[in-house]
Chains A and B, each alone.
Chain A
């Protein structure tokens, strides 16, 4: 089709930012090294030239402070996008996000709104070690008042970031460091992806694999291998964990009767466990095997690359778990 073209994940995000900042002058962005340098992952290139230093702000290393400033600006008519370089550093801003941003709408009896997007980036990379490799979506998932978005490809990244900027509530928008250079088709024309709509990334009959963020391309690779073995896997990407599209998940499980949930984050207290409990409650009668979860190991991420591979699910692990779950 002539009205789509191939973009990198980071380029798709960049386009969403440019479009939204062009459309709405209350949108501005701040973070470390995002203006002059265009961001560590080049998501914010050209923004400074296009929109100037008032709306594209290089911050000091003061995450709690500038995130709080984002909350204040959001409460008073702006639509800030705050970039936290690594999700690991978002642990420094938990008060502003959890106690402040997430609460104001409720505590004010719905008179206050906090249209803030916190863009951040998580997951295991290549030897970045324990303080730069975490998947912490469960922490935000746990907090009422926050939306949690984790796009897995360029198309979703652009459409979801635009929705995040339109959203009147705080959104935790979690990118993945290994996805920035992935390619995908993105339409020329303007589009948004509403929150709460899962995407069936691949249709199948024998088994549902639920995965998000960087686990989606891995699950899709696993599905290719499974196909050769005669197992037809459906891959469902919720795309937004809050709100969660339960109906697409349940519908898929009813069809395949087998389900494997794959998450990069460590298993304990993770989102996969919660999705599993939802399926168990709402589709128990349709299940033909126990709900399987493949997750990161309950341990900090090691620096050594060979050991790092052991702590998060790899394609072969997904294939193995899927075989078992589908009884094949």
Chain B
């Protein structure tokens, strides 16, 4: 259920801190990847920080969340521990999934984070199932499921919408419309690019907002998480946004049109967040700098710790084989 939060200085700072933490985490992760410490897929969340920060700060910790292949931001905004996040990316045993899952599968089932997922859309029915459990157990909780524009075209998403409405379940569908699925622009993959309208034919209301404005995201989320919980019914928030780079670290994203890249560079969620801190919370540039430096320090220290963590030993791994 939605938290009642007054939008005071501390809260604005916490929204911004989460965003800057995600940005810097992805920056350090990218460096590690380039140095060969991280392998496999790495889909940076940068550019979309306002969505994870705004939506998830409106939820309670006993609610549930499901994520996507681009999931670092969701985990961090949900309160993930930096050492365990880095450890997972590095394949270390101290990571959230003992180094067995990696970037695309980070989850924390002990904290109701049902995890990132390598299969586009497959988290959506899973979120619906979590909400079904909530309803059966008569609990006052909400499930938020994240999906991007590409994921809005797959059966899992559409079936999930219908199930949530048919069974009247408290699911908040958050569409992070970054307008691209890898290199495919949204216009070429659907005839209806107002993605929140996907819900209308299932009797689910929705709204489109500026996904780069953390305050707008938070306030919308706060309102509709409350709506989902109170009415035991789904809702869709479509957050318009853009990736800050290619699809994954090795994709230069040369296909992204320059005007859009520039537009979103000028509307970077961090800059918008900074404006809120200046205008609404009255913070000076120096105070904002201090927040950033503090985050730098925390990230640096976490990374140092993670780099010293061991990997799972072969004999321990091989023992697992018997269980499957």
What are the residues of chain A within 8 A of B188 when measuring CB–CB? 58
| Residue ID in chain B nearest A298 by CB atoms | B324
Binds A, one of B44-52, B115-123, B282-290, B296-304: B115-123
Given contacts A61-B120, A61-B151, A299-B324, whether A32 and B182 have CB atoms under 8 Å apart is: yes
Q: Which residues 302-324 of B sit at the A interface, judged by CB distance below 8 A?
A: 311-312, 314, 317-318, 320-321, 324
Q: How far is the CA of A305 from the CA of B320 in the complex (A)?
A: 16
Q: How far is the CA of A32 from the CA of B121 in the complex (A)?
A: 15
Given contacts A60-B189, A61-B150, A61-B189, whether A303 and B120 have CB atoms under 8 Å apart is: no
Q: How far is the CA of A37 from the CA of B320 in the complex (A)?
A: 40
Binds A, one of B70-78, B99-107, B133-141, B229-237: B99-107
Q: How far is the CA of A32 from the CA of B184 in the complex (A)?
A: 8
What are the residues of chain B within 8 A of A92 when measuring CB–CB? 119, 154-155
Q: How far is the CA of A32 from the CA of B226 in the complex (A)?
A: 37
| Residue ID in chain A nearest B181 by CB atoms | A61
What are the residues of chain B within 8 A of A36 when measuring CB–CB? 183-184, 255
- The reply to whether A61 and B153 contact each other, CB–CB distance below 8 Å, is yes
Q: Which residues 32-64 of A sit at the B interface, judged by CB distance below 8 A?
A: 32-33, 36-37, 40, 58-64
What are the residues of chain A within 8 A of B170 when measuring CB–CB? none
Q: How far is the CA of A318 from the CA of B104 in the complex (A)?
A: 31
B83-105 Cβ-contact flags toward A at 8 Å (1 or 0) = 00000000110000101111011
- The reply to whether B121 and A61 contact each other, CB–CB distance below 8 Å, is yes
Task: Say which residue of A40, A60, A62, A307 sits within 8 Å of B312 (CB atoms).
Answer: A307
- The reply to whether B311 and A131 contact each other, CB–CB distance below 8 Å, is no
| Nearest 3 interchain pairs by C-beta | A303-B102, A127-B40, A127-B39
Asked whether any CB of chain A lies closer than 8 Å to the CB of B41, the reply is yes
- The reply to whether B155 and A65 contact each other, CB–CB distance below 8 Å, is yes
Asked whether any CB of chain B lies closer than 8 Å to the CB of A278, the reply is no
Asked whether any CB of chain B lies closer than 8 Å to the CB of A201, the reply is no
* Minimum C-beta distance from B245 to chain A (A): 16
* Minimum C-beta distance from B124 to chain A (A): 12
* Minimum C-beta distance from A295 to chain B (A): 12
Asked whether any CB of chain A lies closer than 8 Å to the CB of B271, the reply is no
Asked whether any CB of chain A lies closer than 8 Å to the CB of B293, the reply is no
A-B contact count (CB 8 A): 114
- The reply to whether A297 and B321 contact each other, CB–CB distance below 8 Å, is yes
What are the residues of chain B within 8 A of A33 when measuring CB–CB? 182-184
Q: Write 24 A-B pairs (CB below 8 A) sorted by A numbering.
A: A32-B184, A33-B182, A36-B184, A60-B181, A60-B189, A60-B190, A61-B120, A61-B151, A61-B189, A64-B155, A65-B155, A88-B119, A92-B155, A127-B91, A128-B40, A129-B100, A129-B105, A131-B104, A299-B321, A299-B324, A302-B100, A303-B40, A306-B91, A307-B314
B40, B119, B151, B314: residue with the most chain A Cβ atoms closer than 10 Å = B40
How many B residues face the partner with a CB closer than 8 A?
38
* Minimum C-beta distance from A21 to chain B (A): 21
| Residue ID in chain B nearest A40 by CB atoms | B182
How many A residues face the partner with a CB closer than 8 A?
35
Q: How far is the CA of A310 from the CA of B118 in the complex (A)?
A: 22
Task: Say which residue of A37, A63, A127, A128 sits within 8 Å of B154 (CB atoms).
Answer: A63
- The reply to whether A131 and B119 contact each other, CB–CB distance below 8 Å, is yes
Classify the interface of chain B: helix, strand, loop or mixed.
loop
* Minimum C-beta distance from A126 to chain B (A): 5
- The reply to whether A303 and B155 contact each other, CB–CB distance below 8 Å, is no
Given contacts A36-B183, A310-B317, whether A132 and B41 have CB atoms under 8 Å apart is: yes
Asked whether any CB of chain B lies closer than 8 Å to the CB of A304, the reply is yes
- The reply to whether A62 and B104 contact each other, CB–CB distance below 8 Å, is no
- The reply to whether A60 and B153 contact each other, CB–CB distance below 8 Å, is yes
- The reply to whether A37 and B189 contact each other, CB–CB distance below 8 Å, is no
Asked whether any CB of chain B lies closer than 8 Å to the CB of A300, the reply is yes
Q: How far is the CA of A305 from the CA of B255 in the complex (A)?
A: 31
Q: Which residues 203-228 of B sit at the A interface, judged by CB distance below 8 A?
A: none
Given contacts A297-B321, A304-B312, A307-B314, whether A126 and B40 have CB atoms under 8 Å apart is: yes
- The reply to whether A129 and B153 contact each other, CB–CB distance below 8 Å, is no
- The reply to whether A60 and B150 contact each other, CB–CB distance below 8 Å, is yes
Asked whether any CB of chain B lies closer than 8 Å to the CB of A181, the reply is no
What are the residues of chain A within 8 A of B181 when measuring CB–CB? 32, 60-61
What are the residues of chain B within 8 A of A58 when measuring CB–CB? 184, 188-189
| Residue ID in chain B nearest A309 by CB atoms | B314
- The reply to whether B105 and A37 contact each other, CB–CB distance below 8 Å, is no
Q: Which residues 84-114 of A sit at the B interface, judged by CB distance below 8 A?
A: 88-89, 92
| Residue ID in chain A nearest B90 by CB atoms | A304
A107-151 Cβ-contact flags toward B at 8 Å (1 or 0) = 000000000000000000111111110000000000000000000
- The reply to whether A61 and B154 contact each other, CB–CB distance below 8 Å, is yes
* Minimum C-beta distance from A274 to chain B (A): 21
